[in-house]
Amino acid sequence: MKSTTTRAFQWVGTLAAGALLLTACGSSDEGAAGQAGPGTFEGRGPITYVAGKDTTGSMQPMLDHWNKLHPKEKVTFIQLPTDADAQRQQMIQNAETKSDAYTVLSLDVVWTSEFAAHQWIDKLPEKRFPLDKMLKPVVETAKYRDGLYAVPASSDGGMLYYRTDLLKKAGVSQPPTTWAELKADCAKVKKLPEAEGMSCYAGQFQKYEGLTVNFAEAVNSAGGVVTDANGKPDVDTAAAKKGLDFLVDSVKDRTIPKEGITYLEEDGRQAFQSGKLIFLRNWPYVYSLAGKSDIKGKYAVAPLPGLDGPGSSSLGGHNLALSTYAKNKATALDFMKFLSSEENTATFLKEASLAPPYAALYDDKALIGQYPYLPVLKESILRAVPRPRVVQYGDVTAAVQREAYAALTGSKSSAQALKDLQEALQKSTGR
Ligand code: GLC
C-alpha cells in the first residue's frame, strides 16, 4: 500500500502548492475542503445504485435499511439486464455522455481496468475501507496500476451443483472430480427411472460474458491458460484444446443438452431446479434460491471437475465503483462503505448465499454449520483464475465469445478456433 502522502498528492494534483502541502500533512482522505474535482468526494443528497437485475431479491431490503437511516440521502436502485455484457454497455453509454444518472456502479470484477483507464470511475481513498480483512485476490480485482478504483462487495466462484439424491440412488458416493467421472456418473444416474428425460450437465454457453468464464474454466481445468502470468495470450496450445474439446464433445454427445447452448446463469438455475439437470456449473447465488425450490434438500456443491482432477473456476464478483460524473459523492462513499461492510455482506451471505469478500466469514464455525457450501466456495475463490486484467477487456471477451461459440456450434474446429483466438488476442492486447 502506498503512503497516505503519496495518495493525497495523486488526488489533489491540480491544487496550489500551499493547499497541497496542507493536504499532505493533514492527510485528509477527502482532499482539501472546498475543492471540487477528483478525490474531493463532496456533496450530500440522493444517489443511485446501478447493478444487474437482482435475481436474489436481497438488495432492495438492504437499500430500504439505508434509506431509513439516511432520509435525506436516499438511494434509488437502477436495475440493468442480467446479462453482464448488456450491463457493461449501459454503464459505458452513461459514462460517455457524462451523465450524472448513475452514482454507485456495481462493476463486474473484469471491468476495473477499462473503467479506471478511461477515467469513468474515481480513484478511491484506500484507508476508508477495511481491505486488509478481505481475501487478497478479491482486493486485487478492484485495483488498477496500484490504485484502488472500486471496493469489493461480493466475490464469486464457480461450483458444481449436483443432485445428491440421484447420485446416491445410482450408487455414486462422491461427486466427480474429473470430466470423465462426471460423464460416467451421468450414465449411471440416467439408468434410474426417476432420471428419465434428464440431461447431464449445463453451464453458461450463450454468447456473452458467461461463455468467456466457462471457456476459461475449461481451458484452465485442463492445464492451459488464456493469457500467461505476464498477460501474454497463450491459448493456442494442446492443453487449451483439451479444455475446449471437453465442451465441444459434450455438446456433440449431448452431455450438454441442445438448449444448453442458449443458457445464461438463470436458465441453468431454472433447469436444475425443475429437475432437468443432474449437474450444473453455476455461482453461489443459486444455492439459496434452489433451497426454496422443488429440489430443496436434494442437492449439494463440489469444486468444479477438471481433466485429471479438480478444475479451477474463473474469479467472478462485483465491486462498487463511483461514477466520475456523479453528484453527492460524500453520500456515495458512505453508502459504498455501508454496502461493502462485513456486517452487510454477511447478511447477503445468509439471505442470498452471495460470497462475501471478508476472509473471516468463511472460517466461522457457526456459519459453516448453517451454510455447508462455505468451505467449497472459499476453495473455489482462492484457487480461482482471474480473467485477463486489461484495459481492452471488451475486445478480449468479444474474441473469446466469438471463437468459443464458433467451436461449440460446430462452425469451426477447436484447433482453428484457438488459432484464430490467439491471433485476435494478440491484436487486441498488443502483446
Ligand atoms: C457473475 C460473476 C461475474 C461474471 C458473470 C458472467 O455475475 O460474478 O464476474 O462476469 O457472472 O456471467
What digits encode the pLDDT tens for the residues 339-365? 999 999 999 999 999 999 999 999 999
Position 370 confidence tier, pLDDT thresholds 50, 70, 90: confident
Q: Is the pLDDT of residue 35 over 60?
A: no
Domain with CATH 3.40.190.10 in the chain: 2-156+316-383, 159-314+389-429
Query: 331 CA distance to ligand 1 centroid (A)?
Result: 27
Residue with cell 467449497: 376
What is the CATH code for 2-156+316-383? 3.40.190.10
Q: What is the DSSP letter of 119?
A: T
Helix-then-strand count for the chain, H and E: 18, 11
pLDDT of residue 239: 98
Closest C-alpha to ligand 1, atom 2: 316
Query: 222 CA distance to ligand 1 centroid (A)?
Result: 21
Pocket lining for ligand 1, CB < 6 angstroms: 84, 108-110, 156, 204, 209-210, 213, 265, 283, 316-318
Query: 6 CA distance to ligand 1 centroid (A)?
Result: 34
Residue 57 C-alpha from the chain's centroid: 18
Q: Could you report how far apart the first and last alpha carbons of the chain are, in Å?
A: 28
Query: 206 CA distance to ligand 1 centroid (A)?
Result: 13
For residue 318, the ligand 1 atom closest to its alpha carbon is 8
pLDDT of residue 34: 34
Closest C-alpha to ligand 1, atom 8: 317
Query: 85 CA distance to ligand 1 centroid (A)?
Result: 10
pLDDT of residue 166: 98
- Residue 13 sits at φ, ψ, to 5 deg, of -50, -25
pLDDT of residue 38: 57
Specify whether the backbone of 289 is left (phi greater than 0), alpha (psi in -120 to 50) or beta.
alpha
Q: Is the pLDDT of residue 290 over 60?
A: yes
What average pLDDT does range 175-190 have in this prediction?
98
Q: Which of 107, 156, 207 to mutate to test the pocket of ligand 1 (most atoms within 8 A of CB)?
A: 156
- What is the pTM for the complete model shown? 0.91
One-letter amino acid at 180 equals A
Beta-strand runs (E) in 59-205? 75-80, 104-108, 143-144, 147-148, 151-157, 159-163, 199-202
Q: Is the pLDDT of residue 28 over 60?
A: no
3-state SS, residue 53: coil
Q: Is the pLDDT of residue 242 over 60?
A: yes
Position 119 confidence tier, pLDDT thresholds 50, 70, 90: very high
**CATH class of the domain defined by 159-314+389-429:** alpha beta
pLDDT of residue 1: 34
What digits encode the pLDDT tens for the residues 47-101? 999 999 999 999 999 999 999 999 999 999 999 999 999 999 999 999 999 999 9
The residue that leads in pLDDT, 3 or 385, is 385
Q: What is the DSSP letter of 196?
A: T
- What rounded mean pLDDT belongs to the chain? 91
What average pLDDT does range 114-126 have in this prediction?
98
Q: Can you read off the three cell numbers belonging to residue 137?
A: 485476490
